[in-house]
Structures are given as structure tokens and as C-alpha cells.
Amino acid sequence: MGFLLGLDIGTSGVKALLVKEAGEVAGSVTVEYPLYSPRPGWTEQNPEDMWKASVEAIRGVLSEYSVKGDQVLGVGLSGQMHSSVFLDESCDVIRPAILWNDVRTSAQCQFIRDSVDPELLFQEVCNPVLEGFTLPKLLWLRDNEPHNFEKVRWLILPKDYVRFRLTGNIHMEVSDAAGMLMMNVRSQTWSKAVLESLDLSDEILPPIIQSSQVAGTITGEVADLTGLKEGTPVVGGGADNACGAVGSGVVKPGRGFVSLGTSGVVLAHLEQPKLITTGTIHMFNSCVPQEFYMMGVMLSAGLSLSWFRERIGRKFDSYDALTADAAESSPGSRGLVFLPYLTGERTPHGDANARGSFVGLSAAHTQGDLVRAVLEGVAFALRDSVELLRSAGWNGTGLRALGGGAKSLLWKEIIASVTGLAIEELNIDEGPAFGAAILAGVGANVYGSVPEASDSIVKVIDAVEPNPEWEKVYGDMYEVYRGLYPALKGSFDQLVTFQ
């Protein structure tokens, strides 16, 4: 029996997932590594930690599930987007990687906006300039560590670094490259126009490859370290959300998913790119060649519920207990609205100063009302993304549910009723590592194409439909919700000065 190996190089660790040729999950092993915050707002990791954890995870999953190296037909990788790995002429790491959630680059973001024609920038990179992206990190290095900037021969991303260590070849995979603000998303080439406006060279950026394209093979040294067979093909892989789309079957127009983790993501597959000038929303290259996906991100989805649980002294209660209380409340939480901006917001506002709020609170409200308001506030924020996707021409009727929050039937019914979309349950929820394994199968000729492989494995097994009685209430409440951010923005900006 043959197996496919998916590696997800995440922010907290590496997940190694073994998938049988027919698509059945054999098992996984996760190895964690540290995250460093040398100053407030800074987050860094050592690429060597990522590599050592990858080796340990591969060795561990092969051992635990009694799989021999020559049974693995291909390797695919997924990874955290935007995070910068700087290599010198000898391909040695110059400094710790600056991660996607590092916010030190506000000055560099403003420099980009001031230096590059806004229309040119948007037409080239198709995304707003935000601190999390890779280009501002490179400029920060030039401004603050010129001695390190002068050493840079290659700028790559975490999964591309691990793939380099597996194969000895340096490439940049297209769905990850799309999140750097350096690539023309439509032509899939490095944007000389943007780089030259900033006095940067594309010579430090490696060749761009497709997600299921073979980028190299396992070296003899790596075979000895991991137990994989020398010569096993390794494909380009994909960014975490791009691989999440493959692993959930969101590989054709009209399909989308909603992910309820710490943050919340609404992602839709598009055949053709569509630029939207209102609202902070992202458009990146899909793992399906020459196709795209659009994505809205809210920063505090599951985080809102976990924060509330802890703050009201129910840290040791199950989430089921909390949502049972919420079920005792009525749709609209008896006139209570929660703004889930606990850590600022990305879509649609792009405002780091936005803050969480309960609006409409009275002495009559119960704890159950508050819990339900939190669930509804997250759903309203997700609808903000859905509305932007619809304005781009997405016409889907359902969203596939991913993440821990999707285990709550009540939350799914609330989201369905707020968005008017069926929330679909899948036969598999293994995250980006599963998508990476599918990509490996395409590259190893186990499957014919990414859509064919994904559709043959991932199935919708159930769906939570909108509740017609709730939809009317939520339609009215959403209008109230939409009016609160602009009404409170000035207050948010003032309040952060006291923090």
C-alpha cells in the first residue's frame, strides 16, 4: 500500500500526516517548537527549529504507523503565510524568521504606500498593504539591520525553507508567493514595477513553481535522517489556507469554506481574479493552476468565546455548557450586540485600533444572552466577509465548516441564519496537511489533477440550513451591527491611547 505525506509548517509546530492512496487518513504526529517575542508586537521563530521538528515529525509518523520509507510516494508541504526566512550566499539562515503576526512594520507599510503608485500597486499585488505581509519585513530589515540586509541572497517562506532542506533546491510556491506583496498575482511573476519603486531587486526571490509541481526529491542525507526513501518526489505545496481549500474540496467555483479557529476565515474559490477596492479582503492564487481564491479574515472568532469563558469564571466548563446557556436565549440575544474586535480587525475594516464591545447591555440580560451575543457577533463579522465575496461575483449557496468552533451545532445554525448559507459538514477535517498530501499525490501521478483528487476524497455528509424564523431577526440585527463600527471608531482611536 502506498502513502502520501503532508507536512504543515505552522506557527506552533509541524504536523506530519500520512494519507493512504485512496484518501483515508492513516494518522499524524505533531511536534511543537517555540515562538519568541523579543519586544512587544514582535514575533519570531528559528527556521532551524522548524527543520528539526519536521525531521522528528516525519520520523515519528513513519514509526508510529509502521510505514516504511519506500511506501511513501510523495511529500507535500503547507505552511504559515507571509513569514520571512532570510538566507545568505551559503543558504545559511541570517536571523530568526519574522512571522506573519509580527506588527513592527507600520512605518514600512506607510513607506510602500507613499512610494508606489496606489493603482499600480493594487493592479500588481491585488492586496492591501498590511504589516503581516512579507515585503514590509524586507524593508524593515533594510532600515534597521542593514548589516543583515547586505547578506541576503534568498528570501523565502517557512515551508519553502523546509522543502529546501528536504531537497537541496530553492523555489517559491505560487500560493505562498501571492501573500508577499511582491508578485503579480495574475501573471504569477515577480513584480519588477513594485520592487523597482522601492529600490529592491528580484534577484533575491527564487523561481516560482506550481503547488503540485515536483520541486525536487529527498536527498540521501535526509533519507538517513527521516526514514524516507532517497529520490521520493517533493511538490511545491501551498499556503495554509490554500491547502485548507484543497483539503476541504473548495477547488471549484461556487464553493467556499468557513473556518472557526482562534481567528475566523471565509474563503471562496474563483476561476478568474476580481479586484475589490472596498473592505480589507485578500485575493491569492489557488493550488489549482491558473485559478484563485478570495478570503476574508476576522481576528477573534473562537478567541472571542474562549476569552469570554475565561473572563466570566467558567474556564473549566466545556464549550457545550456555554452554548447550552446560549440556546436558552432568543435570536438577537434580547437586543444585545457584541463587536468581536478584541485584537483589532482585518476584514472588512483593517483597523488595529478596533476594540470589542457589548452594546445594548441592560440589567435584564442573562449570562446566556451574553454568550449568544458573542456567537452572533462572530457570525455578523463572518457575514461582512461573505458580502464582500458576493460583490466579487461569488454565488455559492453553502460554506464547508472547518475548525474547532464548527463542532457547535448552535453556532453553525446561527452562522447559517446570519449569512443565508448552508453550513456543510465534511467527512474529513484534517486541515492544511491533508491538502498538502493531496498535492503530493497529484505530483506523484497518484491522482490526475487537484480538483479530481479533492472531489474523489472529500465529501459533504450533512448540512445545517438557515432557520427561516431567525433569518429575519438577524437581517435586522446585522444592520444595527454594521452601523456600530463607524459610530464607535473615533472612540476606539481615543481609547487605545490610554492602554
Domains and CATH numbers, the chain: 3-241 (3.30.420.40), 249-427+467-499 (3.30.420.40)
Q: Are 396 and 271 in contact (CB under 8 A)?
A: no
pLDDT (0 to 100) of residue 4: 98
Distance CA 131, CA 41 (A): 11
> What residues contact 118, with CB distance under 8 A and at least 6 apart?
none
Is the pLDDT higher at 263 or at 215?
Answer: 215
pLDDT (0 to 100) of residue 429: 85
Collapsing DSSP to helix, strand or coil, 495 comes out as helix
pLDDT (0 to 100) of residue 278: 81
pLDDT (0 to 100) of residue 352: 85
- According to DSSP, the residues that pair with 257 across neighbouring strands are 267, 400
The torsion angles phi and psi of 430, rounded to 5 degrees, stand at -110, 0
> What residues contact 345, with CB distance under 8 A and at least 6 apart?
298, 299, 351, 354, 381
Q: pLDDT tens for residues 166-198? A: 999 999 999 999 999 999 999 999 999 999 999
Mean pLDDT on 323-346: 96
Percent of the chain with pLDDT over 70: 100
Mean pLDDT on 227-250: 97
Active-site residue, 240 included: yes
> What residues contact 155, with CB distance under 8 A and at least 6 apart?
84, 85, 86, 87, 134, 138, 204, 205
pLDDT (0 to 100) of residue 19: 97
Place 397 in a pLDDT band, splitting at 50, 70 and 90.
Answer: very high
Preceding amide of 273 cis, omega within 30: no
Distance CA 281, CA 296 (A): 5
Amino acid at 127: N
- Residue bearing cell 504606500: 113
Distance CA 346, CA 340 (A): 11
pLDDT at 499 > cutoff 90: no
Is the pLDDT higher at 262 or at 418?
Answer: 418
Mean pLDDT on 83-94: 98
Q: Is 87 left (phi over 0), alpha (psi -120 to 50) or beta?
A: beta
Distance CA 333, CA 346 (A): 25
Distance CA 365, CA 370 (A): 7
Distance CA 302, CA 403 (A): 9
Q: All 3 cell numbers of residue 341?
A: 474586535
- What average pLDDT does the chain have? 95
Distance CA 6, CA 79 (A): 11
Amino acid at 273: P
pLDDT at 297 > cutoff 80: yes
Q: Are 77 and 57 in contact (CB under 8 A)?
A: no
pLDDT (0 to 100) of residue 475: 98
pLDDT (0 to 100) of residue 120: 94
Estimate the crossing angle of helix 367-391 against helix 468-495, to 10 degrees: 90
Q: Are 95 and 112 in contact (CB under 8 A)?
A: no
Q: pLDDT tens for residues 446-458? A: 999 999 999 999 9
Q: pLDDT tens for residues 36-75? A: 999 988 999 999 999 999 999 999 999 999 999 999 999 9
Mean pLDDT on 329-338: 98
Catalytic residue selected from 240, 369, 384, 429: 240
DSSP state of 16: E
pLDDT (0 to 100) of residue 350: 87
Mean pLDDT on 391-401: 93
Mean pLDDT on 480-487: 98
Q: pLDDT tens for residues 244-272? A: 999 999 999 999 999 998 889 999 999 88
Is the pLDDT higher at 278 or at 341?
Answer: 341
CA geometry: angle 429, 431, 433, nearest 5 deg: 125
Question: Please, is 152 exposed, middle or buried when counting C-beta atoms within 10 Å of its C-beta (0-12, 13-18, 19+)?
Answer: buried
Question: What CA–CA distances, in Å, run from 433 to 29, 97, 103?
Answer: 11, 21, 27
Range of lowest pLDDT (129-133, 285-289, 324-328): 129-133
Place 280 in a pLDDT band, splitting at 50, 70 and 90.
Answer: confident
> What residues contact 50, with CB distance under 8 A and at least 6 apart?
9, 14, 33, 97, 158, 161, 162
pLDDT at 277 > cutoff 80: no
**Three-state SS across 275-323?**
CCCCCCCEEEECCCCCCEEEEEEECCCHHHHHHHHHHCCCCCCCHHHHH
DSSP state of 27: E
> What residues contact 94, with CB distance under 8 A and at least 6 apart?
86, 87, 88, 148, 151, 152
Estimate the crossing angle of helix 240-247 against helix 432-443, to 10 degrees: 80
Q: What is the DSSP string of 180-196?
A: TT-EETTTTEE-HHHHH
The torsion angles phi and psi of 181, rounded to 5 degrees, stand at 65, 25
> What residues contact 356, with CB distance under 8 A and at least 6 apart?
300, 304, 338, 339, 340, 341, 342
Q: Are 426 and 248 in contact (CB under 8 A)?
A: yes
pLDDT (0 to 100) of residue 367: 96
- Residue bearing cell 503540485: 212
pLDDT at 325 > cutoff 80: yes
Q: What is the DSSP string of 239-264?
A: EHHHHHHHHTT--STT-EEEEESSSE
H or E element, residue 111: helix 106-115
pLDDT (0 to 100) of residue 103: 85
Q: pLDDT tens for residues 127-167? A: 999 888 999 999 999 999 999 999 999 999 999 999 999 99
pLDDT (0 to 100) of residue 356: 96
